[in-house]
């Protein structure tokens, strides 16, 4: 049964009982419908309901895994040895996980995208001289009324509820862990920046994407500091821990998987920032609303870029792209910040900081199980999954994907109804807001 339902992230007790999984699964403690979800923005969080619809992952000798039938790579091929090609991908593991699962044939597909990256992908970036900068939204320190501007920020922020403040801080922390995300992109075979300053289109895209994203954390960090409502040292500890911990999106150094992940993640980030923008405006801070909305717009542009890459993969290798999409949905999209740690929360509450942050975000509607299902539906329509003519494992993957959003929604609804019937509630103190207590789902 564990082989059929591989554990990629802890699930809630309620969802585990609904799925009828093993007792060990039920021992996981999480107060949210989500576990390791991808959001904000960053990033996105994974609804625990996804465990209900997981089916066994492709075996080592099929799907995206390397096959013994594959020919040895050419001398110019990307760091994939003849030995690696002749053996199943699962022979190449780190901490019991597959690495470098891209076949030589599919590496050639990725290489064929170089012209697309040069002529279309890079065009979705904005020139620096036309880009907004954090200072455009912040008080001018050289202005004679600088302190008055700061007081205006603090006055406006008084209306921001602690619930939404937690969501804003969690989103900001996720954005600040940007070095980890650049590192993740540079693990992908065939598209990584091999030197750190390579002139390939893929390398230039990764560096410029990182530069655009860097403004998000900078702006949110400075603005929240000026509000005076956030314990910035606790936030900084969390950021340092998060960057030091890294992330594991389970993309196997495989750009097929990696770009499915980023396609989903960027849209989830857009949804989360868009919702915080609306709440900020409704609670009396239109400037904060504009900040979150501007960041959401950036994420939307980046979402389009990554989804266009997968468009090209479907055009050139329909079967491989379908298997990759299904594989990432089975493994679930984990949020980049799932390893956040403030050195206090678990000791005080016995719970995971990310799980409680996710619970707050779900409860107030910043990012929910329904959002997760909505994103799946969007990608299914975007990549025309239902109307493709496939056979074998690719057809099985196609069928699985088409049924997935409905199954996630149904489980989320059952879990929510069970929670309401239990009529229990809990709360947690968050160091980010000077240990004030916030209700959980």
Instruction: Please list the active-site residues.
Output: 132, 175, 213, 216, 266, 269, 298-299, 302
Locate 221 and state its tokens. Answer: 């960090």
Taking the CA atoms of 196, 298, 224 and 34 in sequence, report the sign of the dihedral they define: negative
Give which of 141, 184, 158 is closest to 38, Cα–Cα: 184
Q: 23: how many CB neighbours lie within 10 A of its CB?
A: 7
C-alpha–C-alpha distance, residues 181 and 177, integer Å: 7
C-alpha–C-alpha distance, residues 199 and 403, integer Å: 42
What 8-state DSSP symbol labels residue 58? P
Taking the CA atoms of 414, 58, 326 and 203 in sequence, report the sign of the dihedral they define: positive
C-alpha–C-alpha distance, residues 345 and 155, integer Å: 29
C-alpha–C-alpha distance, residues 341 and 224, integer Å: 19
Backbone phi and psi for residue 141, each to the nearest 5 degrees, phi listed first: -65, -15
Beta bridge partners of 47: 34
For tokens 């992330």, name the residue. Answer: 247
Contacts of 315 (CB under 8 A, 6+ apart): none
C-alpha–C-alpha distance, residues 351 and 32, integer Å: 11
C-alpha–C-alpha distance, residues 99 and 118, integer Å: 27
Q: 375: how many CB neighbours lie within 10 A of its CB?
A: 23
Beta bridge partners of 45: 37
What 8-state DSSP symbol labels residue 60? T
What 8-state DSSP symbol labels residue 47? E
């Amino acid at each position: 049964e564990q082989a059929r339902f591989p554990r990629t992230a802890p699930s809630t007790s309620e969802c585990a009982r609904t799925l009828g999984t093993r007792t060990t699964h039920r021992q996981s403690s999480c107060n949210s419908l989500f576990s390791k979800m991808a959001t904000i923005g960053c990033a996105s969080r994974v609804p625990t309901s996804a465990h209900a619809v997981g089916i066994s992952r492709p075996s080592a000798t099929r799907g995206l895994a390397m096959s013994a039938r594959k020919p040895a790579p050419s001398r110019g091929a990307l760091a994939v040895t003849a030995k690696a090609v002749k053996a199943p991908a699962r022979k190449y593991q780190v901490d019991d996980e597959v690495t470098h699962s891209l076949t030589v044939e599919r590496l050639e597909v990725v290489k064929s995208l170089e012209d697309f990256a040069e002529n279309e992908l890079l065009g979705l970036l904005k020139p620096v001289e036309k880009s907004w900068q954090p200072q455009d939204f912040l008080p001018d320190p050289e202005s004679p009324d600088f302190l008055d501007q700061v007081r205006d920020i603090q006055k406006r922020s008084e209306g921001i509820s602690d619930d939404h403040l937690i969501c804003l801080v969690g989103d900001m922390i996720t954005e600040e862990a940007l070095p980890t995300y650049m590192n993740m992109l540079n693990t992908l075979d065939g598209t990584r920046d091999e030197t750190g300053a390579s002139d390939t289109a893929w390398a230039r895209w990764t560096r410029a994407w990182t530069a655009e994203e860097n403004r998000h954390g900078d702006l949110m960090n400075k603005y929240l500091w000026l509000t005076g409502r956030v314990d910035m040292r606790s936030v900084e500890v969390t950021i340092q821990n998060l960057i030091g911990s890294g992330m594991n999106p389970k993309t196997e150094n495989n750009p097929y998987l990696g770009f499915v992940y980023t396609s989903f993640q960027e849209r989830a980030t857009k949804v989360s920032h868009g919702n915080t923008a609306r709440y900020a405006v409704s609670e009396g801070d239109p400037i904060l609303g504009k900040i979150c909305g501007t960041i959401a717009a950036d994420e939307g542009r980046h979402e389009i870029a990554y989804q266009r890459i997968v468009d090209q993969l479907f055009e050139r290798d329909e079967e491989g792209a379908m298997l990759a999409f299904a594989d990432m949905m089975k493994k679930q999209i984990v949020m980049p910040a799932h390893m956040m740690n403030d050195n206090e929360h678990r000791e005080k509450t016995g719970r995971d900081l990310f799980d409680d942050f996710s619970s707050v975000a779900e409860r107030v509607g910043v990012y929910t199980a329904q959002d997760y299902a909505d994103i799946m539906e969007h990608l299914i329509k975007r990549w025309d999954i239902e109307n493709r003519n496939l056979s074998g494992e690719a057809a099985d993957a196609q069928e699985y994907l088409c049924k997935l959003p409905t199954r996630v929604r149904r489980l989320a609804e059952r879990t929510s109804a069970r929670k309401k019937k239990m009529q229990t509630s809990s709360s947690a103190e968050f160091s980010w807001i000077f240990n004030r207590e916030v209700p959980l789902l």
